[in-house]
Structure 1
Amino acid sequence: MPTIVFLSPKGGVGKTTSAMILANQLSQGAPVTVIDADPNRPFQSWERGGNAPDNLKIIADADEENIIDKIEEAAAATPFVIVDLEGTAAKIVVLAVSQADLVIIPTQGSQLDAEQAGRALKVIHQQEKMSRSKVDYGVLLTRTNPAIRTRTTSHIMEGLGNNAISVFDTQLHEREAYRAMFSFRQTLDGLRGEDVANLDKAIANANAFTMEVVDRLRASKQARAGEAA
C-alpha cells in the first residue's frame, strides 16, 4: 500500500500541517497509519486531544532501528501510510525515503526556503543512485496567499520548472483552520465554522491537495505496471 513521506530540512514550512491535512482527509475514506518520526512527536500530541478519527492510527515509537519494519507493518495493515520526518541528515530519513511511493517536500514561497528544499532533493537523488530506481516526489508550496500570487512565489515556481523539479499544482494556503487543528486538537471537519474563519475554503483546499496526491500515486502505480509489463 502507498507510503507517503513528508520531508523538509527546515522547520516552520508547514511539513507537519501538510501531513496532518492529508492524513485527516484520506482517513475519511480509508484507514490511514501515520508514523510520527519527528522527534517533537506533534501527531502524538494532537492525538491526545481525543478527536482522532477511528480510521487514523498514529505510531510514535519509530526510530532508525525499526523504521523500515514499522512502515512495512503499517503498509500491510492500512491502505495508506504517512511518515512525518524531521531534517535530512539522519539515517532514519534515508531509510524512510527508501520505502516511499511518494515524497512530499513542503516549502514556503521564499527563496531561502526553496534553497533549503534543495537539500531534501539531494537525499532523493542519493537514494535513486543507491537503489537505481526512480523516487517519485513533489515540492509543495505552503502558506501561500489564496488571493495574490507574489512575484517571489512566481519567481520560485519558474525556477523550479526550469530545473525540471516536480511541483504540486495545488498549494496549501495560509488558513486559520490549519492552525486551529493543532490549537483545538481537532480534525479539519471537526472544527466549527463559527469558531474558524473561511473553514469551507480550507476544506476545499485540503481536498484538492488530497486528490492530487491520490492522482499522483495512481499515475505512478500505472507507470510501474507498464514498465513491468
Structure 2
Amino acid sequence: MSFSDLLGQLPRVFTYYNLLLLGQAALTTLLLSAFGCIVGLVFGLLLALARRSHARLLLPLKAFAFIYVEILRRVPFLVTLMLFFFGSQVLGFDLAPLTIALISTSVISTAFVSEIIRAGLDAVKQSQIEAATVMNFGFWQTLRLVVLPQAWPVILPPIFSYFVLFIKDTALASQAGVLELVQAGRILTTKGFSAFIVFGAVLLLYFVISYPLARLGSHLESRLGVSRHSRARRPIS
C-alpha cells in the first residue's frame, strides 16, 4: 500500500464509531492499569510488611507472603490470566472477562510491587529502627515516621518504572476477550483498515496513557530527593 493510499484511508479509519471503539478500549486499558497499580500498592505493602515481620503469630502469613511473591513473580502474566479464566469456568463462576482480567492484573501486580517495597524497606538502616524503639515508638509509628520516609526515595523509581511496563502488559487481557487497545486494533484491521494506521493510533494512545505516569514518577522522585537532601543539611539545634 502506497503512502497516498494510506492518506486516503485516514478519513475512513477515524470515523466517529471507530474513535468511540478506540476510546472505550483506552478507558479499559486505563482501568486495568489503575486498578492493578492501586491494588498492588496496597496489598504489596501489606505482604512486604508480613515478610519482614518477626512475630511468631504472623509466621503463617509470612510464609504465605514469601511463597506468593516467589511463585507469581516467575509466572508469565498470560499464564496467570488463563488460569483464572479457565479456573473460574471449572469452579462454576460466571465471571465477565473484564472481571477476570482485573483479578489477574491485581494478583500479578501485588507480587511484583511487594518485592520492590520489601527491598526499599530493607534499605533503611537497622540503627534507625532501633533508635525509634528506644524512643518508645510503636510499630505503626516507626513505620510512618521513620521507615517509610527513608524508604520511599528508594521505592519510587523502580515502582513507577514497573507501573509503566505494567500498562503494556495489560494488552495480554485481549487473550481473554477483553476489549482493550490491542483488541480494538485487531477489530479495526479485520474490517480492512491499514494495520499501520490502526496500530499507529494504538501506539499513540499507549503513549498518552503511560507518559503522564512516567512524568509523575520523575516529579515525585525529584521532590523526595530534594526533601531528603534538605533534611540532611538542616543544622541540629
Same fold (TM over 0.5): no
TM-score by length of 2: 0.27
Name the one with the larger helix percent.
2
Larger RCO: 1 or 2 (CA < 8 Å, sep 6+)? 2
Name the one with the larger strand percent.
1
TM-score by length of 1: 0.28
